Amino acid sequence: MCTVRARISLLLCVAWVLFASQCATAQLVATKDLTDTASVPTAPPTSAELPSTIGTPDNPEKQDCFFEVANGVIVRDVPEKLRLEIVGVDPRLVYDGTAMMITVRVKNIGDLPVLVPWQTNQVEPDTDPKSGDTSYESATIHLTFGTLEDRKHCTYLKGEATLAAAPSNRAQHLELLSGQWADVKFKAAIQCASKETWACKRFHADEHAQLTAHWWEWLFTREEKGCGGMRGAYKSRTLESSPLEVVYVASPPSDEKKAAPPQ
């Protein structure tokens, strides 16, 4: 009888240790509040946006030199498992122009540790001491807005969160172990981010409008070789959250209209 009880106690002890270890790793490990921080856009430049020459008034001998543009995707030997989720929206009743507080969560649901950029200010790129080539990482969280009535057409909203890091600088990254997550809070608005009218769709009132978060992460490089050079933008991670429902109305509620100052 004592032997049986000892075995049961041992099994319970092992089960408790396993449970405690899971609880220790499944946790919030960091937060970023960017609601008072101006985000620096870091979307990869297109070939049309990149200057064709690398010459400058201070460097006239390179006026006839050109930058090439390189694009690609970084493929990891072992696939990662990260999940993006919108965990907070305030307010949930929105209309055109509504300013919102957004909280987005990135969680490691895989078995291996993952490093993500975690600096909010511009970082000093890595520089190769021999070649002078530079590189840095940048991750941007964007939001899209749409309705159930028209799922194919979504609008990118104004407001984003930008995180950056030099590839070799471990202190500028956040490590997420299995089960751990981090939250990023930032401002956004029900307002089209694009300057192109064709990209800005008008929506009808919908009690089941949807917000979706997108994580775009890139490795940017710059190389100069004699009278020539190359700028690279390599896609590192793309994550997309499940849609979160909000109530979209065509105009502000009557109480907000009364509170608005006269024009």
Residue 10: C-alpha distances to residues 13, 15, 161 (Å)? 5, 9, 49
Q: Is the pTM of this model over 0.75?
A: yes
Residues 6+ apart with CB under 8 A from 121: 164
* Per-residue confidence (pLDDT) for residue 72, from 0 to 100: 93
Q: Tell me what percent of the chain is helix, strand and coil, each rounded to the nearest 5.
A: 15, 45, 40
- Token look-up 């009535």 returns 149
Confidence of residue 61 (pLDDT cuts 50, 70, 90): low
State how far the alpha carbon of 252 is from the alpha carbons of 22, 154, 206, in Å: 46, 21, 14
Pairing of strands 244-248, 206-224: antiparallel
Alpha-carbon torsion (55, 60, 63, 65), positive or negative: negative
SS3 category, 69: strand
Grouping H, G, I as helix, E, B as strand and the rest as coil, residue 1 is coil
Is residue 259 scored above 80 in pLDDT? Answer: no
* Tens digit of each residue's pLDDT (9 = 90 or more) over 201-223: 888 899 999 999 999 999 999 99
Interval 72-119: pLDDT, tens: 999 988 889 999 999 999 999 999 999 999 999 999 999 999 999 999
∠ CA 208-214-215, rounded to 5°:
155
pLDDT band at residue 46, thresholds of 50, 70 and 90? very low
Positive or negative: CA dihedral 233, 236, 242, 247: negative
Which of 215, 258, 218 has the alpha carbon at shortest distance from 240? 215
Using CA of residue 27, residue 41, residue 133, residue 231, what is the dihedral sign? positive
Residue 86 pairs in a beta bridge with 104
| Confidence label for 233 from pLDDT (cuts 50, 70 and 90) | very high
Model confidence pLDDT, tens digit, residues 179-198: 999 999 999 999 999 988 88
Question: Which of 168, 137, 171, 143 has its CA nearest to residue 157?
Answer: 143
**DSSP string over 204-235:** --EEEEEEEEEEEEEEEEEEE-SS-EEEEEEE
